[in-house]
Structure 1
Amino acid sequence: MAEYPAPGHPKDLPEHGPHRASARSKDHTAVQPLASDDPRAIGPHRLLARLGAGGMGKVYLARTPDGHLCALKVVKEDLAHDSQFRARFAREVRAAQRVRGPFTPSVVDADPDAAAPWMATEYVPGPTLKEAVRENGPFPEESLRVLVLGLARALATVHAAGLMHRDLKPSNILLSPRGPQVIDFGIARAVEGTVLTRTGQTFGTPAYTSPEQITGQNVSPRADVFSMAGVVLFAAGGGPPFGEGSAIGTLNKVMNGDPHLEAVPGGPLRDLLARCFAKDPGQRPDAETVQRELSGLPLPSAEHGWLPPQVNQQISAKAGELRQAEAAERTTAPEAGRGEPGHGGGGHPWWRGRTATVVAAAAAALVLLGGGAFALTALPLGSQEDGPGDTAGGEPADGEGEGAAGGGGDGAGDEEAAAVTLEGFLYDFSFSEDGETLHVFGSGTLSSWNWREGTVTDQYSPVPTGAVVTPGGFAAGTTSTYIEVWEGGSENRVAVLGGNSEDRGQYDMPALTGDGATVANLASDDGTVDGDPVIQVWDVESREVRNEFAIDGYLADMFYTPDDSALVAVVAEPDYAAHIGVYVWDPGTGEEIQVFEGAEYYDVSLAADGTSLAMVTDRREARIADIGTGEVRDLESPGLEHEELYEVEFSIDGSLVYGATSDLSSEPGFVWDAESGDLVETDTDVTLNSPLGVHPDGEHLFTAFVEAGVHTIVVMDADFNVVAEVN
């Protein structure tokens, strides 16, 4: 559903071949200043600049409440007044919020019920494929292979969520060093039957539509595969797959003509694309088959990246535009343009993770592995015997035990081979028992670091959608269709849970006992994205669900108490319009031990002794609760005017509570005395951003700062002096 170049319009003529930078089409994604009639905030998001406009509305560069960039699409007035469109838009947004993958920018927020419906997606500062080819010419064969693999993975992710793209074309594909990014999935379905299509226009863009979309019969996900093949021919030859011509002439060629496959060098790639162009959808491979058949082909050298040099220059130019917009933003007052706290902001997906009520930033999808070649994370580049590929609905391979490739791949534990960029959102910090290893989980990484030296010691690839690492070195990660458990690092996967037709899918939010023997997770009762939420408790050794119980909403966080006797979770309403409360369950029975309600609880942390909880309420206040008695007491109010408090953490000895904001906040962070509840004055300026990590030695705090989407982890001593940086 992500959309921020100009959206595809059913009336669009075929996209044409390359012409140079002197001509700018309407899908140009240059950052432009806000106009005088543009709003300064939409929902809780502050607008920074314009990104484009098209048939469905305007697209803005915006800042989320916790400091990250997003692309925010506002629906135009005539569609906003169309009740059929509103209903479809809301439905497609809900479905698209379940789509997660390194090649599909996430929907981070939406309000389909607003006077002018809107949605916000993660921002990718790169040109569209149409722009790149138009300005620089066709792509070389090695780049085409990466393009096909990324597009196939993106489509597999979209299809696994029960969606079709329906309008895949060069202007709906953004380019970044981490791989192609497919946007606008679900948009074509949302406009079905509206003023944009009632004139008899077909769905999609004529040059890239499929025969069955033209006839309106037997339209299935394989229609997207046909469109994908057309996009690749455009990248290979610089022109539409069936040549230039009028819309009617192009549709006739799609039905009866042959594509210009000669643009692609002869060999396996051309042969596969020919099958993707089969007029009968039953004769085409699906997206997963495309991935599998291309997985053995050589990819570009890691030294030069997958994109042609001129395209990398375009990306650098986009980054420069972004820096200019951010510099202009810093000249304004911190409060300027902030939305009213709590206004809008509904529609967060039920699987969103800890400290990420607003989530963005797909994983850094190109990771350097030993051997000097690019490997696309989440793409199965080896055979199933080599390790499990996350096949978006398929079963993982059953390789386990010593050396099983749970995701590390060749060189995963080799510090010299590891290359991790802390892009996107960071969700959580955790530590090994001896405190020497820092585990970092975010939208772009699950990795382990020697934090004193600032070096990576391990990385898990593909990056799980939900993850937890225990002090003892056990780790659990979820995909949409199965759960993996590791012991001692990514090269030693010990179990795969789920992943077959008898087990319900849609797994997320793993919690792991200290001994790695039991995993609890969020799931749906029927295995679909529309199912009701349940908590499953798995026995890792037997790979069986030991217990399952229904819950009243969806999770924003879940973890075991230190003695593994209880599960603690933040529960929200299904549409995330409100947070219900903090629940404490007996994992063996599902019985509610305690429920803390009566406020909007956004974050919760546990004291080291397992007796007390610190909780963020309404993103402005904090409380402490006793798990045994249920007693709740307020911490001194920090007097926040905006929703800027994101996380609270206990000190190791339980005497203090730290409060973290975001690196864009006008407030630097807070410290409370846990016993009295009073704010503590410190001798040094305190800057605490979320995520926040408290080192087990009680002498160090870990926080992070982000610049241009990349994080630096900052280590402070007990007096809040910076002593180290990790990036």
Structure 2
Amino acid sequence: MQPLAVDDPSSIGPHRLLARLGAGGMGRVYLARTPDGHLCAMKVVKEELAHDAQFRARFAREVRTAQRVRGPFTPAVVDADPDAQAPWMATEYVPGPTLKEAVRENGPFPAESLLVLTLGLARALSTIHAAGLMHRDLKPGNILLSPRGPQVIDFGIARAVEGTVLTRTGQTFGTPSYTSPEQIVGENVTPKADVFSMAGAVLFAASGLPPFGEGTSISVLNKVMNGEPNLGALPEGPLRPLLARCLEKDPARRPDADEILHELSGTPLPSAEHGWLPTRVDRQIDAKAVETERAGANEHTTVPMGGESATVPMAEQARQGPESWWRRRSVVVAAAAVCALILLGGGALAWTVLPDRAEDPPPTAGGGGEDTDSDGSDTGPPGEGADDEERPASDHFAGFVYTIDFSEDGDLVHVFGSGTLSTWDWRTGELVEDYPPATGARFTSTGYVASTVEQYIRVWDGGVDDRIAVLGRTEEFGMFDMPAITRDGSTLAALASQDGTVEGDPFIQIWDVEKGEVTSDFEVEGMLTHLEYALDDSVLVGVLAVRDYSESIATVVWDPETGEELHRFDDAETYDARVSGDGETLVVAADDEKAFVVDLAGGDVQDLDVPEEAVGELGYVALSPDGSVAYGASSLFGTSEGYMWDTATGEPLPSEGLEFDSVIGVDPGGEYLATTSTDGGVTSVQILNGDFEIVAEIS
């Protein structure tokens, strides 16, 4: 939740805006107060969509249908105006974290919580499907948590966006990790696609990871089509075989939402006295409630008081009135009873909701939730009009951080991760640039940024306001990944596929950025997990992997103009490879237990003496600017001992006190190192000096 910005309106329709809840490809979401004093979450459509007549018609239809959806696990639509200059919809506000936030900050859910989560989501889908809707984008970020059960939001939005300016310009609506196979190929999409997504969300709650693992969008989509989900994360019991059926590739073999409810109807649920959520998540809900109260603390509004109306500051209401409904223990226990009251009738499962939404005092209106997702799924449209909304800094480092690069003067750090593509002044902690999310990205020390979002490539020169190219976006090309860009920003290389699909044969394209033309291309024998130019742009270095990314093929050095292989190292399972700042030295980590450096000019190889304690987990490497020192880190996420070597001799260097969390960034001036650290579910970027002391931390 953020304060309103200077360009935000003070009200929309009859509703007063209090704060921003989020922003994304479709528009902005605000916390607002209705004329009768309740709270709502208001989703306001962005300009590109507002000018799209097809979207307006679909949005109006979906709003009308959504207004018929009434159930204990679907926040109701309380008001809407699809004909407004900027169409909007307001839903009941739920003061709780998303499932994604809860698992990210507190870890996987226990078995009892998983059962209630499954039942609540199935009941929500049953209600949505009965109204003639499909969700089409059910994911952990679209599931809010409350004492009375999970709350599914944003149903119908995906259908309204289909075929609009967003999808026509290259945005894929839906989230790769939770998208059903039939949605990927665009065939036979039925309500059972939502069942597939629901099962994936439950697996995320059980493991803390997407159902088909981490990876680029291309790799994840391939796993959804051909791989197996991580069912081993589920506890033994009725959920595992049921969710296995929900995740069948063939929708005909999946149960529908009502069948799921029937199968689980006899399973014992947690005691209502203790609620259905882990204690730490209950505390998150309390924190959200406090944050909501603060958002309206100084607002003057007319609310019922003792049967009369009076204008009273919200802060005063908080002091003199009863506690908010979601913070009263008696109501929390009653709400938790939703998860304990199972009534069997006619073979179907019925849920009784306590308290009813109309009871005293009524729950506040609105359906909170961010329109963006930090794994990078809501990418925003390409080309002109891209959605470059700034997010709270706390969202940036969620998930995994893949790379940290310094600017040439060492004053800035560029961070690419599953939830961020951003530049920071590490001395002040200030967010300098916030680029749209991407599936692949590369920063240069000179400030150029290249990012891929499947169907296109974007290039910036020194800032989000200075985009210089959008490449691709034609029927001929697609499924881009792993961009690399030269130091002067003139040339770009990226992985592509011959027919723009996951199944297409992979190859590397070389682009003239200014002309927007492909100057050359050459086939490669697999996918890429890393690609970069040497500093003098003379060579491309990449790590090849098989199509499902289950193992690597080789580390290869190419001539980017001809595609000729200059060096190849395929005798080991490569995990990471990096080129030195002077472009003369390559370091490779392989087999979790060895590392070596290569003189790119002569091809000489020097093995590094890996300490015994690093054997079995060495996975990430980096080089000093001049290539004289190599750094190593564990392949296991979590801060652990770092390693250093003299690359000329391969001998270890003293590294007492050096700690890395997989990611290693090296200052071009050689003065600083960067890594990440995770504490209590919160990830920060740390800057280390030459004595390995933490001199700055961005969190």
TM-score in terms of structure 2 length: 0.54
Q: Distance in 2 between matches of 1:464 and 1:197?
A: 27
Q: Is 1:154 the counterpart of 2:174 in the alignment?
A: yes
Q: Distance in 2 between matches of 1:183 and 1:678?
A: 42
**Alpha-carbon contact 1:406-1:491 (below 8 Å) kept:** no
Q: Is 1:168 the counterpart of 2:194 in the alignment?
A: yes
Q: Is 1:572 the counterpart of 2:586 in the alignment?
A: no
Match of 2:438 among 452, 455, 464: 464
Q: Which residue of 2 aligns with 1:617?
A: 590
Displacement of 1:161 in angstroms is 3.5
Q: Distance in 2 between matches of 1:631 and 1:473?
A: 32
Displacement of 1:155 in angstroms is 6.3
Displacement of 1:425 in angstroms is 0.3
Q: Which residue of 1 aligns with 2:695?
A: 723
Give the AA of the match of 1:692. Answer: I
Match of 1:713 among 677, 685, 688: 685
Q: Which residue of 1 aligns with 2:477?
A: 504
Q: Deviations over 1:536-575 (max 9, x none)?
A: 1111122111111101222110000111111110112233
Q: Which residue of 2 aligns with 1:518?
A: 491
Q: Which residue of 1 aligns with 2:402?
A: 427
Q: Which residue of 2 aligns with 1:440?
A: 415
Q: Which residue of 1 aligns with 2:630?
A: 657
Give the AA of the match of 2:539. Answer: A
Q: What aligned pairs does 1:224-303 form with structure 2 within 5 A after superposition?
A: none
SS of 1:520's partner is strand
Q: What aligned pairs does 1:318-717 form with structure 2 within 5 A after superposition?
A: 376=372, 390=380, 396-397=382-383, 399=384, 405-409=385-389, 420-461=395-436, 463-501=437-475, 503-640=476-613, 643-661=616-634, 668-682=641-655, 684-717=656-689
Displacement of 1:677 in angstroms is 0.9
**Alpha-carbon contact 2:675-2:685 (below 8 Å) kept:** yes
Give the AA of the match of 1:451. Answer: W
SS of 1:562's partner is coil
Displacement of 1:419 in angstroms is 6.0
Q: Which residue of 2 aligns with 1:110?
A: none
Displacement of 1:474 in angstroms is 1.2
Give the AA of the match of 2:194. Answer: L
Q: Deviations over 1:31-51 (max 9, x none)?
A: xxxxxxxxxxxxxxxx99865
**Alpha-carbon contact 1:167-1:204 (below 8 Å) kept:** no
**Alpha-carbon contact 2:374-2:399 (below 8 Å) kept:** no
Q: Distance in 1 between matches of 2:660 and 2:415?
A: 17
Displacement of 1:613 in angstroms is 0.7
**Alpha-carbon contact 1:168-1:204 (below 8 Å) kept:** no
Q: Deviations over 1:236-278 (max 9, x none)?
A: xxxx9xxx9999xxxxxxxxxxxxxxxxxxxxxxxxxxxxxxx
**Alpha-carbon contact 1:104-1:183 (below 8 Å) kept:** no
Give the AA of the match of 2:449. Answer: A
Q: Which residue of 1 aligns with 2:11?
A: none
Q: Distance in 2 between matches of 1:187 and 1:505?
A: 18
**Alpha-carbon contact 1:424-1:709 (below 8 Å) kept:** no
**Alpha-carbon contact 1:621-1:638 (below 8 Å) kept:** no
Greater radius of gyration (CA): 2
Q: Distance in 2 between matches of 1:196 and 1:541?
A: 48
Q: Distance in 1 between matches of 2:114 and 2:198?
A: 12
Distance 1:309 1:576, change over 3 A: farther
**Alpha-carbon contact 1:468-1:510 (below 8 Å) kept:** yes
SS of 1:528's partner is coil
Structure 2's unaligned 5+ residue stretches are 1-68, 74-98, 101-106, 119-135, 163-171, 213-220, 229-240, 265-291, 297-323, 334-367
**Alpha-carbon contact 2:446-2:488 (below 8 Å) kept:** yes
Displacement of 1:459 in angstroms is 0.6
**Alpha-carbon contact 1:161-1:529 (below 8 Å) kept:** no
Q: Distance in 2 between matches of 1:375 and 1:677?
A: 50
Q: Distance in 2 between matches of 1:648 and 1:149?
A: 46
Give the AA of the match of 1:631. Answer: D
Q: Deviations over 1:348-400 (max 9, x none)?
A: xxxxxxxxxxxxxxxxxxxxxxxx996536999xxxxxxx9746xxxx34x3x
Distance 1:584 1:389, change over 3 A: closer
Give the AA of the match of 2:534. Answer: T
Give the AA of the match of 1:658. Answer: Y
Q: Deviations over 1:263-297 (max 9, x none)?
A: xxxxxxxxxxxxxxxxxxxxxxxxxxxxxxxxxxx
Q: Distance in 1 between matches of 2:679 and 2:639?
A: 16
Q: Deviations over 1:61-114 (max 9, x none)?
A: xxxxxxxxxxxxxxxxxxxxxxxxxxxxxxxxxxxxxxxxx9787xxxxxxxxx
Displacement of 1:578 in angstroms is 2.9
Displacement of 1:655 in angstroms is 2.3
**Alpha-carbon contact 2:407-2:447 (below 8 Å) kept:** yes
Q: Deviations over 1:587-642 (max 9, x none)?
A: 11111111122112211111222111111011211101111222212111212475
SS of 1:510's partner is strand
Q: What aligned pairs does 1:304-319 form with structure 2 within 5 A after superposition?
A: none
Q: Deviations over 1:16-41 (max 9, x none)?
A: 9649xxxxxxxxx99xxxxxxxxxxx
Distance 1:379 1:451, change over 3 A: closer
**Alpha-carbon contact 1:656-1:673 (below 8 Å) kept:** yes
Displacement of 1:445 in angstroms is 0.2
Displacement of 1:135 in angstroms is 3.1
Q: Distance in 2 between matches of 1:301 and 1:504?
A: 50
SS of 1:646's partner is strand
SS of 2:612's partner is coil
The number of equivalent residue pairs is 447
Displacement of 1:652 in angstroms is 2.4
Distance 1:532 1:661, change over 3 A: same
Give the AA of the match of 1:711. Answer: T
Q: Distance in 1 between matches of 2:666 and 2:397?
A: 19
**Alpha-carbon contact 1:424-1:443 (below 8 Å) kept:** yes
Q: Deviations over 1:290-313 (max 9, x none)?
A: xxxxxxxxxx99959xxx9969x9
Displacement of 1:710 in angstroms is 2.9
Q: Distance in 1 between matches of 2:542 and 2:411?
A: 28
Q: Distance in 2 between matches of 1:631 and 1:467?
A: 30
Displacement of 1:653 in angstroms is 3.3
**Alpha-carbon contact 1:699-1:718 (below 8 Å) kept:** yes
Q: Distance in 2 between matches of 1:373 and 1:665?
A: 29
Q: Which residue of 1 aligns with 2:337?
A: none
Structure 1's unaligned 5+ residue stretches are 1-14, 20-28, 31-46, 60-101, 106-123, 210-239, 248-299, 318-371, 381-387, 400-404
Displacement of 1:654 in angstroms is 2.6
Distance 1:664 1:17, change over 3 A: same
Q: Distance in 2 between matches of 1:635 and 1:189?
A: 36
Sequence identity percentage: 33
